[in-house]
A and B are shown apart, each in its own frame.
Chain A
Amino acid sequence: MADDSEFVKSRTFENLRAAFAEEAALAYRYLYFSVLADFEGLDRHSALFKEIAEGGEDFVQGCFDFLKLARDPDSGLAVGGTLKNMESLLQIEARQQGRTYPEMAQAARMEGFPDIASWFDTLEKAKRAHVQKLRKLSGA
Chain B
Amino acid sequence: MPDGLSAGDVVVLSGLEAVRRNPWMYIGAVSSEGAHQLLRELVHNAVDEALAGACSRIVVTLGADHCRVEDDGRGIPVELHPTEGVSACEVVLTRLHSGTKFERGTGRYSAGLHGVGLSCVNALSSWLKIEIVRDGHRHVQEFRRGEPVSPLKAVGAEAGSGTRISFWPDPEIFRGFQGFNEDESRMLLEELAFLNPGVEFVLTSQPSGSSWVYRSDAGIAGLLARLNPQARALTPEMIAVRTEADGLMFEAVLQWTTGRGPAIWSYVNCVNTRHGGTHVAAFKLGLTRAINRIMSEMGKTSGEDPTEIEEATEGLSAVVNLKLARPNFESQTKSRLTNPDVADVLEDAVSGQVLEYLRRHPQAAGIVSDRILQVRRDRLAARRAADKIYFQQVYRDVDERIYREQFGARSKNWHDSAVWITHGELLQAHADFCRQGPEATVLDVCCGSGVVGASFKGRVKKVVGLDLTPEMVDLARTRLDEVRQGNVYKMPFEADRFDLVCTREVLHLLPFPEKPVSEIRRVLKPGGQFVVGQILPFSAADAAWMYRIFKKKQPLIYNMFQEEDFRRLLTEAGFVDLEMKEMNVWESIDVWIDSYETTPLHRHEIRRLYREAPAEAKAVHPFTISPSGEIRDLWRWCVFSARKPA
Contacts and interface: CB of A to CB of B under 8 A. Distances in A.
Interface of A: 1-4, 6-7, 51-52, 54-55, 57-59, 61-62, 65-66, 69-70, 80-84, 139
A14 to B, nearest CB: 14
A72 to B, nearest CB: 16
Interface of B: 288-289, 305-306, 308-311, 380, 384, 386-388, 390-393, 541, 544-545, 547-548, 551-552, 609, 614-617
Contact of A55 (B387, B391, B552, B614): B614
A65 B614 contact: no
B289 A69 contact: no
A62 B306 contact: no
A62 B548 contact: yes
B544 A58 contact: yes
Given A3-B391, A83-B308, A52 B616 contact: yes
B341 to A, nearest CB: 14
A61 B551 CA distance: 13
9 contacts: A54-B615, A61-B548, A62-B547, A65-B548, A66-B390, A81-B308, A81-B311, A82-B308, A82-B309
B617 A55 contact: yes
B614 A69 contact: no
Given A51-B616, A65-B548, A81 B310 contact: yes
B548 A54 contact: no
Contacts of A81: 308-311
Given A6-B391, A69-B387, A62 B289 contact: no
Nearest to A80: B308
A114 B101 CA distance: 57
A6 B393 contact: yes
B289 A139 contact: yes
Nearest to B609: A58
Contacts of A55: 541, 544-545, 614-617
Contact of B306 (A51, A61, A65, A84): A84
A83 B616 contact: no
A66 B552 CA distance: 11
A83 B285 CA distance: 10
Given A2-B387, A69-B387, A58 B545 contact: yes
A7 B390 contact: yes
A59 B540 CA distance: 12
A70 B386 CA distance: 11
A86 B411 CA distance: 39
A4 B390 CA distance: 8
Best-buried of A4, A54, A55, A70 by chain B (most CB within 10 Å): A55
A46 B114 CA distance: 39
A82 B310 CA distance: 10
A57 B548 CA distance: 11
Contacts of B390: 4, 7, 66, 69-70
A2 B388 contact: yes
B309 A57 contact: no
